[in-house]
Chains A and B, each alone.
Chain A
Amino acid sequence: MSNVPDDLRYAKSHEWVRDNGDGTVTVGITDHAQEALGDLVYVEVPQIGKRLDAGEACAVVESVKAASDIYSPVDGEVVETNETLGDAPETVNEDAYGEGWIFKLRTNDEQELDGLLDADGYARLLEDED
Chain B
Amino acid sequence: MLAAIGVGQVEDLFDEIPDSLRAGRLGDIPPALSEMEVARLMRERAREDGEPLCFLGAGAYEHHIPAAVWQLASRGELYSAYTPYQAEASQGTLQILYEFQSMMTALTAMDVSNASLYDGASALAEAVLMAVRANRKTSSRRVLVPRALHPAYRRTVHSIVRHQGIELTEIPFDPNGGHTALEAVGALGEEAFAALVVPQPNFFGILEEVDALTDWAHGRGALVVGVVNPVALAVLKPPGEWGSGGADIACGEGQPLGIPLSSGGPYLGFLCSQQALVRQLPGRIVGRTLDLDGNPGFTLTLQAREQHIRRSKATSNICTNQGLLVTAAAVHMTLLGAEGLARVAAACHANTRQLSEMLCAISGVEPAFDRPVFHEQALRLPAPAADILRSLAAHNVLGGYDLGLDYPDLDPALLVCATETRTQADLETYRSKLSRIIATRTQPACPVQPKI
Residues of A at the B interface (CB closer than 8 Å) are 42, 44, 47, 62, 66-67, 69
Other-chain residue from A42, A47, A69 in contact with B313 (beta carbon distance below 8 A): A69
For B314, the closest partner residue in chain A by CB is A67
10 A-B pairs (CB sep. < 8 Å): A42-B304, A44-B279, A47-B136, A62-B304, A66-B304, A67-B304, A67-B305, A67-B310, A67-B313, A69-B313
Contact A42 B279 (CB under 8 A): yes
**Contacts A42-B304, A44-B279; A66 near B136 (Cβ below 8 A):** no
Contact B309 A66 (CB under 8 A): yes
Instruction: Report A-chain residues with C-beta under 8 Å of the C-beta of B313.
Output: 67, 69
Instruction: Report A-chain residues with C-beta under 8 Å of the C-beta of B136.
Output: 47
Instruction: Report A-chain residues with C-beta under 8 Å of the C-beta of B310.
Output: 67
How many A-B contacts if CB must be within 8 Å?
A: 13
How far is the CB of B314 from the nearest CB of chain A, in Å?
A: 9
Instruction: Report A-chain residues with C-beta under 8 Å of the C-beta of B305.
Output: 67
How far is the CB of A94 from the nearest CB of chain B, in Å?
A: 21
Instruction: Report B-chain residues with C-beta under 8 Å of the C-beta of A47.
Output: 136
For B278, the closest partner residue in chain A by CB is A42
Residues of B at the A interface (CB closer than 8 Å) are 136, 279, 304-305, 309-310, 313
How far is the CB of A54 from the nearest CB of chain B, in Å?
A: 20
For B280, the closest partner residue in chain A by CB is A44
Instruction: Report B-chain residues with C-beta under 8 Å of the C-beta of A69.
Output: 313
Instruction: Report B-chain residues with C-beta under 8 Å of the C-beta of A42.
Output: 279, 304
A47 to B135, CA, bound (A): 11
A49 to B28, CA, bound (A): 58
Instruction: Report B-chain residues with C-beta under 8 Å of the C-beta of A67.
Output: 304-305, 309-310, 313
Instruction: Report B-chain residues with C-beta under 8 Å of the C-beta of A44.
Output: 279
A47 to B139, CA, bound (A): 11
A126 to B38, CA, bound (A): 65
A67 to B309, CA, bound (A): 7
A42 to B313, CA, bound (A): 16
For A64, the closest partner residue in chain B by CB is B304
Instruction: Report A-chain residues with C-beta under 8 Å of the C-beta of B279.
Output: 42, 44
How far is the CB of A31 from the nearest CB of chain B, in Å?
A: 22
How far is the CB of A3 from the nearest CB of chain B, in Å?
A: 26
Question: Which 4 pairs between the two chains have the least Cβ-Cβ distance?
Answer: A67-B304, A62-B304, A67-B310, A47-B136
For B305, the closest partner residue in chain A by CB is A67
A66 to B304, CA, bound (A): 6
For A67, the closest partner residue in chain B by CB is B304
Known: A42-B304, A66-B304, A67-B310. 10 other contacts (CB 8 A): A42-B279, A44-B279, A47-B136, A62-B304, A66-B309, A67-B304, A67-B305, A67-B309, A67-B313, A69-B313
A69 to B136, CA, bound (A): 18
How far is the CB of B273 from the nearest CB of chain A, in Å?
A: 16
A44 to B305, CA, bound (A): 12
How far is the CB of A33 from the nearest CB of chain B, in Å?
A: 16
For A61, the closest partner residue in chain B by CB is B304
A62 to B309, CA, bound (A): 11
How far is the CB of A61 from the nearest CB of chain B, in Å?
A: 10
A44 to B278, CA, bound (A): 12
Instruction: Report B-chain residues with C-beta under 8 Å of the C-beta of A66.
Output: 304, 309
How far is the CB of B305 from the nearest CB of chain A, in Å?
A: 8
How far is the CB of A77 from the nearest CB of chain B, in Å?
A: 15
Q: Which of B279, B304, B313 has the most CB of A within 10 A?
A: B304
A47 to B136, CA, bound (A): 7
For B311, the closest partner residue in chain A by CB is A67
Q: Which of A44, A47, A62 has the most CB of B within 10 A?
A: A62
How far is the CB of A92 from the nearest CB of chain B, in Å?
A: 15
A67 to B310, CA, bound (A): 7
A23 to B304, CA, bound (A): 35
How far is the CB of A114 from the nearest CB of chain B, in Å?
A: 31
How far is the CB of B203 from the nearest CB of chain A, in Å?
A: 36
How far is the CB of B285 from the nearest CB of chain A, in Å?
A: 14
How far is the CB of A89 from the nearest CB of chain B, in Å?
A: 12
A69 to B304, CA, bound (A): 12
A66 to B302, CA, bound (A): 10
Instruction: Report B-chain residues with C-beta under 8 Å of the C-beta of A62.
Output: 304
A59 to B159, CA, bound (A): 30
A44 to B279, CA, bound (A): 10
A42 to B304, CA, bound (A): 10
A69 to B313, CA, bound (A): 10
For B310, the closest partner residue in chain A by CB is A67
